[in-house]
Structure 1
């Protein structure tokens, strides 16, 4: 049989320890041993409880403890670590109280997610640990954002982030390495190469000799480390951390190790050849290190028993504490309250000094003034620095704020959005520009699975605004014209803003940046240079979640947003006899239902106009809510008008036929006459 990682089978013990006495004092050796023993003991306890049906699932890290413990103890307590689900040693080495870990795994209130997530899907700022999501890759970009904040603020810290051999094939892995290399960020990218991605062997995952080789393509220093040798892990990481604090740069570390149990316990290890499993069990990092310490006279049976008894006693006491804790009882109100962080302060628009500005100028001015208001705010996006962005919204920003705060990015939307989240975790704020809203698909995962769920899962805000130039009517075709807001209104935890006027654009953008929750800010590019309005020159904010009643009437309610508002006004200007309420909802999530219901109950008829294709759009949801809440007031069926259920075409004639604007006028007249 050919062994994984080109290892050659030798006699026991297999780990060649080199004891550097200038680094490893007896106290440090004992600490490394005790932390590995603690992690192993908890693992063994969990496996027993799993068989007894007292825990529901477990991802075992047995055989990999040296990596988690060695890296964590080699770093400073104030440096961030982003572990995965097999890195129990990170959590225990940061001295998180065991009963809180047990409560987390059991879904109890003393855990870190209020029972909303399990396992190691959590973080804690108190211990500078940022937990993973199941999609693995985004946390690599998060590490880049954390390190970027440290670098910009001249804080000499290192960030360590874990992934596995399987995760190293994800696009986010490569995007994050590229960003870190280009920006020279002090990140330790730690690959635990444990032989299998669930059951897929290395030979079916990549075609290079070592994963460390991938660092070469990104101009990055890389090293291969024996992940079962605690002394090698600690010494190498300690040396690198000291250097990176003074000379920031990313380093790729491949830790050769093995997972001696299943991906999770239900998976088993039948796919692993017995000879390979036996070989790696002989390289057990804890057993080998224990023999080494005995040989060196650092521990004896009495010391071993003392540690073991103390740990077992602690585990039993803390397990009982967690197990005796009451089951969480929540309410709809409590659950909904934690989707967003409460945020209420606002700066009213000033009454003096107004000037006519185009929509695009209002966006630029709001962004500029927010940059002045928040020195911790950065803007990231493609071509936004010296070039000023494809729409010139950030033109001349670099001269005022510098390249640190106005950052050109590689074309890697997913990792940049994740980096924005990481930057926010480390006391910053981030605005990320999608060059076109269509390109947000490349960053969809971190938006809906990382940003949106963060506060609900573990109380951590995601202080990121994503700007999305969108919309048709400009002949840009299927890849540069979409209004894809409905993709995100369905995702709890995201605020979605879509202004139609310069006054709203500036005030709502400022508000979005002030808000610590994730906000998607849609800007219709067809309005950029066609719509003008007098607005205050000073900084101001408008509340998110309040619609604007633009015109009042008694016959019908027209509900729209973005370009649709202007389409509706244009039609009504031709039919002065139609007395209509026009509601610009402005923010799609949260939605101002009170203003909508009040108008519908007054007029009895309602038409909802959206630029998005009709099926599954925001108009459908509003129509359903009106039917449920205003049915007795209706004098006609609720009417929805949207664009065709096709991709948006390029040709001007085809595009005109596609857009909802061409169908709104007839539908409005028919409904008024119903």
Structure 2
């Protein structure tokens, strides 16, 4: 029940009632538009308004909100521009995403709102990153992340809560338990009677509240914020009920009628209206009707204007320009005239250290990277030099760390995430391709995130520590993919990745770490990512490759050189952006091309390059485009098996076939 002794002025009470009523009235209008086929889909929050409005009312404008589908009241209470909001909901050009994403899949940075994606619980680790930024900068804001009962089964929910608890982050996790995940009742989703019981397992505070009582919500959130800023996260389970379907098309046939009757009596707006009358704040139904008219007049002109607004027009240049943010090369690295011999691993460490010395916004996160220095010792000594705030061990998580990096990037940090082995990047796939890669295209500001991933075979590590997954990400726009082959490139391309305002996946070959060395300058240089190098000139055939493939190509080219055959080698260096022009120039010169890659044949990076060369260089070719790849089997453990798995075992045979054509 609403506390009749609640200390609130009449003016504040009326404002609160209007804030509750506004999303309800908007939604009722949207349901009419849905039936008129003027919007394509609607996720109803009817019956749950007290949670969105209560949370937003209890927090300040500097606190972050990370909403879900049913949190319309969050946007309206925080004062988001209604015309732009309606344009977004209607898919118009003037919406927050300009038609690039749907309904509530948007954020409003100036209002400290970070929008959702369809994958449930995926923004909860992002709240951790925002909260970590608050803690590191001593800004005293919190991040409130929303999730439904169904989403609490997702892995990212657990990773986010555990990380927040371990790091004592100022996060409030708000769980809207409305009893159903689409049609699946909570009894079929989890065993505990109350979700709040999970809080104890994470070592964080838990509060269970009546989510239809706006005062109860506000009290809990105010208490949780105070706790979060001093002692760490709070888990709030708000018991509520949605009076419509999961989305309108699904209906409510699976919900017993008695539940609607029970929860209908607890409707948060009618409940608050009864309290207003009992406190003599309103005189009766006529005044309530007048308030409703006032609320309707508040939003209807903007809605009518949005209905007449322009639909988005497709402009190819405009759309592609959204994918990557232009790079500012005005940053001047420190200059040092000395040179020294470095191994591949030393160059990577050197690059990281120089960047971290230049800019305190760099933070690195990963498993065992602090005192231990990482399994490959790249961050060895970094804790002593830069401190534990910037060199951060994480629990054994991938998605949680990557989502946290996104939150940090939104607050202006330059996070680096180390995947202990590239194979484990699969556990963070959702964060990379859905949250991070698509962010700038959808609505986000530039995301300076660097993901380092030791990859590659040839070290007898077996099928789970030897993969080369770089090709997995080529079909997902918004990611730059860098794979250096030399010591100098490892040094300069990583440095360039660290300062690039776009997300970069940086793959480091484990076998190259301590097997190659070179003299390089004792300062890093910025280079444009996406430029290939011709590392060996030739006339008789071209080998296009990258990473370890460059070394295989050099060995075979040396062998053929003694026989009078000159092989040209193109090192792609980056798989995205892909430098097709350099490849085309080499093919036009030699008229024969072999595409060499370490990943398996099917759908590897060279499949795409083969198609592009065939399309654009067909008339220049004197032989079919040929590929040399590792086998279409998992990477074997035994060195004898692994030797025959790898592409270089078939390189000479393939090259002979090409030259003889």
TM range (shorter): over 0.9
Q: Aligned residue for 1:108? A: 92
Instruction: Give CA deviations for 1:350-378 in whole Å, capped at 9, x if unaligned.
Output: 68322110000000111111112221111
Aligned counterpart in structure 1 of residue 126 of structure 2, from 138, 142, 152: 142
Are 2:209 and 2:237, in contact at CA under 8 Å, matched by a contact in 1? yes
Q: Aligned residue for 2:14? A: 30
Flag structure 1 segments of 5+ consecutive residues without an equivalent.
Answer: 1-15
By how many angstroms is 1:379 displaced? 0.2
By how many angstroms is 1:203 displaced? 0.6
Are 1:346 and 1:543, in contact at CA under 8 Å, matched by a contact in 2? no
Aligned counterpart in structure 2 of residue 274 of structure 1, from 257, 264, 268: 257
Are 2:107 and 2:444, in contact at CA under 8 Å, matched by a contact in 1? no
Q: Aligned residue for 1:13? A: none
Give the Cα–Cα distance (whole angstroms) in 1 for the partners of residues 259 and 289 of structure 2.
31
Q: Aligned residue for 1:381? A: 366
Give the Cα–Cα distance (whole angstroms) in 2 for the partners of residues 424 and 446 of structure 1.
14
By how many angstroms is 1:659 displaced? 0.1
Give the Cα–Cα distance (whole angstroms) in 2 for the partners of residues 412 and 210 of structure 1.
26
Are 1:347 and 1:540, in contact at CA under 8 Å, matched by a contact in 2? no
Give the Cα–Cα distance (whole angstroms) in 1 for the partners of residues 357 and 11 of structure 2.
50
Give the alignment of 1:92-491 within 5 angstroms.
92-245=76-229, 247-301=230-284, 303-345=287-329, 352-491=337-476
Give the Cα–Cα distance (whole angstroms) in 2 for the partners of residues 308 and 347 of structure 1.
55
By how many angstroms is 1:460 displaced? 2.8
Q: Aligned residue for 1:12? A: none
By how many angstroms is 1:511 displaced? 1.0
Q: Aligned residue for 1:516? A: 501
Aligned counterpart in structure 2 of residue 642 of structure 1, from 629, 644, 658: 629
Q: Aligned residue for 1:593? A: 580
Q: Aligned residue for 2:565? A: 578
Give the Cα–Cα distance (whole angstroms) in 2 for the partners of residues 237 and 427 of structure 1.
27
Give the Cα–Cα distance (whole angstroms) in 1 for the partners of residues 499 and 399 of structure 2.
23
Give the alignment of 1:472-621 within 5 angstroms.
472-576=457-561, 577-621=564-608
Two-structure CA RMSD over aligned residues (Å): 1.3
By how many angstroms is 1:275 displaced? 0.7
Instruction: Give CA deviations for 1:192-247 in whole Å, capped at 9, x if unaligned.
Output: 000100000011000012100000001111000100001111122123223433x0
Deviates more, 1:153-162 or 1:233-242: 233-242
The TM-score, its normalising length taken from structure 1, stands at 0.96
Give the Cα–Cα distance (whole angstroms) in 2 for the partners of residues 250 and 27 of structure 1.
32
By how many angstroms is 1:52 displaced? 1.6
Are 2:172 and 2:228, in contact at CA under 8 Å, matched by a contact in 1? no
Are 1:113 and 1:459, in contact at CA under 8 Å, matched by a contact in 2? no
Are 2:10 and 2:281, in contact at CA under 8 Å, matched by a contact in 1? yes
Give the Cα–Cα distance (whole angstroms) in 1 for the partners of residues 474 and 164 of structure 2.
32
By how many angstroms is 1:629 displaced? 0.5
Give the Cα–Cα distance (whole angstroms) in 1 for the partners of residues 5 and 418 of structure 2.
50
By how many angstroms is 1:86 displaced? 0.3
Give aligned pairs, total.
657
Instruction: Give CA deviations for 1:525-564 in whole Å, capped at 9, x if unaligned.
Output: 0000011111111132222000011111111111010101
By how many angstroms is 1:19 displaced? 3.5
Structure 2 counterpart SS, 1:363: helix
Are 1:165 and 1:193, in contact at CA under 8 Å, matched by a contact in 2? yes
Give the alignment of 1:626-641 within 5 angstroms.
626-641=613-628
Give the Cα–Cα distance (whole angstroms) in 2 for the partners of residues 300 and 496 of structure 1.
65
The TM-score, its normalising length taken from structure 2, stands at 0.98
Distance 1:76 1:164, change over 3 A: same
Are 1:19 and 1:231, in contact at CA under 8 Å, matched by a contact in 2? no
Deviates more, 1:348-357 or 1:311-320: 348-357
Structure 1 counterpart SS, 2:438: helix
Q: Aligned residue for 2:69? A: 85
Give the Cα–Cα distance (whole angstroms) in 2 for the partners of residues 396 and 419 of structure 1.
24
By how many angstroms is 1:429 displaced? 1.3
Flag structure 2 segments of 5+ consecutive residues without an equivalent.
Answer: none
Are 1:359 and 1:528, in contact at CA under 8 Å, matched by a contact in 2? yes
Structure 1 counterpart SS, 2:560: coil
Give the Cα–Cα distance (whole angstroms) in 1 for the partners of residues 274 and 97 of structure 2.
39
By how many angstroms is 1:602 displaced? 1.1
Give the Cα–Cα distance (whole angstroms) in 2 for the partners of residues 356 and 513 of structure 1.
22
